[in-house]
């Protein structure tokens, strides 16, 4: 045998031995992992599914039951509806979900705001005339009502959007482009987004997801893997791909009961223009406070004005933007720390009502000051 052939044979033998060794080590590690899990659960009586997948010789382990998207869909499909509207400008479709057995349906304000006729269509094609009960522009939520007659409605349960984690699986269910009963799967891409509304305010705490959302999905539920509503799909990023937004259930839980009872929602109002503090602004004005809410202006006659909150007194350029500075920096509300504008707006949305008295802790003139304020109704 030639030297070249001997060398090739030796290399082949070495590769085979290495592969066998890796397989033995991998199997040993897997057996050890299974033994550890079994030992840990021995006294609890629990069972657990262990799924191990090998990709390019790298293993990862998923502990827990696998999710069935089919079972999830079957659980909620009869509670998601298509909403067909006629407006002075034409027709359109959106989505919604059954809120209670009385026939209340939750959707987006922008789906029904100009409607002269509203029809609710279930997946089995049964349809019902609906009337507008209430709507709220600043959360983009609305409620319509049907008379279900003999039909047994299946309300969806509200989940806790505050407990969502980045990367959690979610499903968007609705009628994109009029395609009834469509489900798409994605993850919670991020939380705490600000979504501007038609009146110039922002919806705080908005959920960002990569579950496919298209025109017609508006008003439909964003569902967690327990089949609970954690958001209402509301918007997409026009210039992006795979970027959708949903109003969180923490806001739905406050707004919808008021819409059903009164037809509108009264939101607390402070009366400031503001933005999030960051290191760039802090460097520009030579302070150490890098988190909180910078008050840039105060509305005359507002609760903020009456309480003595201060807006900006001069302008500085930060990354090409002109920013009014010199105003108060809000760092806490009733002792709860706020790190950003979204933190502040979400606290105000979830925890305050008109007439409530608050104490704002602000950074002013090199020190911290407590400023009492009584909130009013947002005009």
Whether 364 has a pLDDT exceeding 90, the answer reads: yes
pLDDT in tens, 46-73: 433 333 333 333 332 333 446 799 999 9
**Residues recognised as catalytic:** 110, 140, 218
Please list, in sequence order, all residues whose beta carbon lies within 8 angstroms of the beta carbon of residue 63, skipping any fewer than 6 positions away: 37, 48, 49, 50
Q: Which residue has the tokens 């509108």?
A: 264
| CA–CA distance, 335 with 366 (Å, rounded to integer) | 19
Whether 15 has a pLDDT exceeding 60, the answer reads: no
pLDDT band at 332 (very low <50, low <70, confident <90, very high): very high
pLDDT band at 43 (very low <50, low <70, confident <90, very high): very low
Whether 335 has a pLDDT exceeding 90, the answer reads: yes
* CB distance 329 to 291 below 8 Å: no
> Mean pLDDT over all residues of the chain?
87
Whether 367 has a pLDDT exceeding 80, the answer reads: yes
Q: Give the domain 67-265 fold.
A: Thrombin, subunit H (2.40.10)
Domains in the chain: boundaries: 3-63, 67-265, 268-377
Q: What is the pLDDT of residue 140?
A: 97
95 pairs with which residues across the strands?
Answer: 82
Whether 30 has a pLDDT exceeding 50, the answer reads: no
Nearest Cα to 245, choosing from 214, 276, 279? 214
pLDDT in tens, 146-163: 999 999 999 999 999 999
Q: What is the pLDDT of residue 200?
A: 86
Q: What angle do CA 143, 146, 150 make, to 5 degrees?
A: 145
Residue 293 vs residues 17, 170, 212, 319, 353: alpha-carbon distances, Å: 63, 31, 33, 18, 20
Q: What is the pLDDT of residue 239?
A: 82
pLDDT band at 31 (very low <50, low <70, confident <90, very high): low
pLDDT in tens, 86-130: 999 999 999 999 999 999 999 999 999 999 999 999 999 999 999
Whether 281 has a pLDDT exceeding 60, the answer reads: yes
Q: Give the domain 268-377 fold.
A: Pdz3 Domain (2.30.42)
- Mean pLDDT value across residues 219-231: 98
């Amino acid at each position: 045998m030639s030297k070249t052939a001997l060398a090739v044979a030796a290399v082949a033998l070495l590769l085979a031995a290495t592969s066998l060794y890796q397989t033995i080590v991998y199997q040993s590690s897997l057996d050890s992992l299974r033994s550890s899990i079994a030992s840990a659960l021995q006294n609890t009586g629990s069972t657990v599914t262990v799924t191990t997948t090998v990709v390019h010789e790298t293993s990862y382990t998923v502990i827990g039951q696998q999710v069935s998207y089919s079972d999830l869909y079957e659980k909620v499909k009869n509670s998601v509806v298509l909403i067909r509207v006629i407006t002075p400008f034409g027709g359109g479709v959106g989505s919604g979900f059954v809120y209670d057995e009385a026939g209340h349906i939750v959707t987006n304000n922008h789906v029904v705001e100009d409607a002269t006729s509203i029809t609710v269509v279930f997946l089995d094609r049964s349809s019902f005339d609906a009337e507008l009960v209430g709507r709220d522009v600043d959360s983009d939520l609305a409620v319509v009502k049907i008379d279900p007659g003999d039909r047994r409605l299946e309300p969806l349960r509200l989940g806790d959007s505050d407990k969502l984690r980045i990367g959690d699986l979610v499903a968007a269910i609705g009628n994109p482009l009029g395609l009834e009963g469509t489900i798409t799967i994605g993850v919670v891409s991020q939380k705490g987004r600000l979504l501007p509304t038609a009146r110039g305010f922002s919806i705080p705490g908005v959920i960002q997801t990569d579950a496919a959302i298209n025109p017609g999905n508006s008003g439909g539920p964003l569902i967690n893997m327990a089949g609970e509503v954690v958001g209402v799909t509301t918007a997409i990023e026009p210039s992006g791909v795979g970027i959708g937004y949903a109003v969180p259930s923490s806001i739905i839980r406050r707004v919808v009961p008021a819409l059903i009872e009164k037809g509108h929602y009264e939101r607390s109002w402070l009366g400031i223009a503001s933005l999030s503090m960051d290191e760039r602004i802090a460097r520009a004005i030579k302070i150490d406070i890098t988190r909180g809410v910078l008050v840039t202006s105060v509305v005359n006659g507002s609760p903020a004005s009456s309480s003595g909150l201060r807006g900006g007194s001069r302008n500085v350029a930060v990354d090409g933007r002109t920013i009014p500075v010199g105003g108060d920096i809000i760092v806490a509300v009733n002792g709860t720390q706020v790190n950003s504008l979204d933190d502040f707006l979400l606290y105000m949305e979830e925890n305050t009502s008109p007439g409530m008295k608050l104490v704002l802790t602000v950074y002013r003139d090199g020190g911290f000051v407590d400023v009492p304020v009584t909130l009013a109704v947002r005009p």
